[in-house]
Amino acid sequence: MEIASFIIGLGGLIVSGISLTLALKARSTAISAEKASDAARQAVFQTIAISELTQAIALVELLKELHKNNDFNRALDRYTQLRQLITALQTSQTEEDVTRFDNAIIQLMDIETTVRKSVYTGTQIDAAKIDSGLLKIQQLLDEARVKQEQRVTGASDIGGRS
């Protein structure tokens, strides 16, 4: 009788050990899946940021073309679009870049104010000066896009292997 109790107790202990091992493996798998999900989500956000940066760069190119053709009335409509896009992009930037984006927004507002005054008063615009400011903004956007692309490339291995 004692041997039977011992065997039953031992069997229960073995079943408990197996159950505990399986539970730990399941927990480990769940943690790995959560990490992979977080990495995938981050990669998607970074890819969206790259797309928005590309869109902002295209807007700068359009503004430069409108300036070149002295189509300042149409340019006025695009400044707000670009400013809103740059503002939205700040959430995907480093602290250092957020400050640079703030400066770009201020510079863009100055350009818009200059163009708006010129359009309303009929005064001549110094297109070279304005385009110089736009070029600086474009360089910032290009640099930010490269950084985002590098983050996506570095994060493309979702499994965590390097």
- Note the pLDDT of residue 161: 42
- Here the CATH number for the domain that contains residue 100 is 1.20.120
- Residue 96 pLDDT: 83
Structural domain total, the chain: 1
Whether pTM exceeds 0.75: no
Would residue 3 count as lying in a domain? no
Q: Is residue 6 part of a domain?
A: no
Residue 117 is predicted with a pLDDT of 94
Alpha-carbon distance of 155 to 162, in angstroms, equals 9
- Rounded CA separation 20/115 (Å): 71
Task: Look up the domain containing 146 and give its range.
Answer: 45-154
For residue 40, being part of any structural domain is answered with no
pLDDT digits (tens, 9 = 90+) for 68-127: 998 999 999 899 999 999 999 888 888 888 899 999 999 999 999 999 999 999 888 888
* Residue 39 belongs to some domain of the structure: no
Confidence class of residue 138 from pLDDT cuts 50, 70 and 90? very high
Cα distance between residue 15 and residue 11, in whole Å:
6
The pLDDT value given to residue 3 = 82
Confidence band, pLDDT 50/70/90 cuts, at residue 49? confident
Give me the mean pLDDT over the 1-19 stretch. Answer: 81
Q: Is residue 71 part of a domain?
A: yes
Distance CA 11, CA 35 (A): 36
Q: Is residue 89 domain-resident?
A: yes
In a domain, 33, yes or no: no
Report yes or no on 107 lying in a domain. Answer: yes
CB 44 within 8 A of CB 155: no
